[in-house]
Amino acid sequence: MNQETGHAVTYQYDAEDKVLAAVDCIIFGFDEEDLKILLIKRGFEPEKGKWSLVGGFLKKEETMEDAATRILELYTGLDNIYMEQVATFSEVDRDPVERTISTAYYALINIREHSKNLIKQFSAQWFSVSNAPHLIFDHDRMVQHALQRLRNRSATEPIGFDLLPQKFTMRQLQKLYEAIWDAPFDKRNFINKINSLNIIDKLDEKDMTTSRKGSYLYQFNAEKYEKREGKFLI
């Protein structure tokens, strides 16, 4: 930031308005069928009892990435999670209590790994994106924005794997992308496309839980991804 006001040689930052800065997290998970988001029932006024994204205020000694990481750990018990800034929302009256700007981040977690205790403690709940309740403030817009970003990003970066177990089947991967895009893909074309990317390894193991025949497990190979030529593009 910079500004020249009245040609003063030294600028008086003191005269400027300060605001509360918040971070809100759109936590995505995938349950083999639907793309889900983690919401909490707000425990204080205003809007007490309504559904809300998880969030918190930015502290003086942390970056927004730090804050988002802290909030994510607080509500899921997880760290080292893929995360991306979405946008900052700054409508003047977005929080009726006090002027607050909020930066939204989305995070991708393996839904089987988060802490069930914390979920209970915070009255949190997973909702399908397509079937979520109305949220407080501008949180619905944040979710839509995050979803759009997730779609764009997942088409050009191999981030979908963050929503799956380390070992996964082709059907799971396909269902994941179908959930993200809310559109069906052709089974053979999808597999051919993924295989042509040459970034996942087929294992000798099979997952026997969803069919009698069983389906092969695969694993993302980060090394192959780094060394690949050509684009990643689903």
Partner DNA sequence: ACAAAAGTGTTACGGTTACACCCATGC
Partner DNA sequence: GCATGGGTGTAACCGTAACACTTTTGT
Q: Closer to a copy of itself at the Cβ: 59 or 187?
A: 59
- Binder among 1, 209, 226, 233 for a copy of itself (CB under 8 A): 1
Q: Closer to a copy of itself at the Cβ: 39 or 129?
A: 39
C-beta of residue 69 within 8 angstroms of C-beta of residue 83: yes
Phi, psi for residue 113 in degrees, rounded to 5: -105, -10
**88: partner contacted, choices DNA, a copy of itself, none (Cβ within 5-8 A by kind):** a copy of itself
- Written as six digits, the tokens of 84 are 């991306």
C-beta of residue 233 within 8 angstroms of C-beta of residue 177: no
Residue 171 interacting with DNA (CB under 7 A): yes
**183: partner contacted, choices a copy of itself, DNA, none (Cβ within 5-8 A by kind):** none
H helices within 53-186, ranges in order? 64-76, 116-121, 139-156, 170-181
The CA distance from 204 to 17, in Å, is 61
Q: Which residues does residue 168 pair with via DSSP β-bridges, in sequence order? A: 218
Residue 7 interacting with a copy of itself (CB under 8 A): yes
The CA distance from 140 to 77, in Å, is 24
Single out the segment in contact with DNA by CB under 7 A; choices: 5-13, 36-44, 160-168, 186-194. 186-194
- Written as six digits, the tokens of 33 are 């069928």
Single out the segment in contact with DNA by CB under 7 A; choices: 17-25, 31-39, 116-124, 212-220. 212-220
DSSP code at position 123 = T
Q: Closer to a copy of itself at the Cβ: 132 or 191?
A: 132
- Written as six digits, the tokens of 170 are 């082709």
Single out the segment in contact with DNA by CB under 7 A; choices: 79-87, 104-112, 122-130, 204-212. 204-212
- Binder among 214, 222, 224, 227 for DNA (CB under 7 A): 214
**Interacting residues toward DNA by CB under 7 A:** 169-171, 186-189, 191-193, 206, 208, 210-216, 233
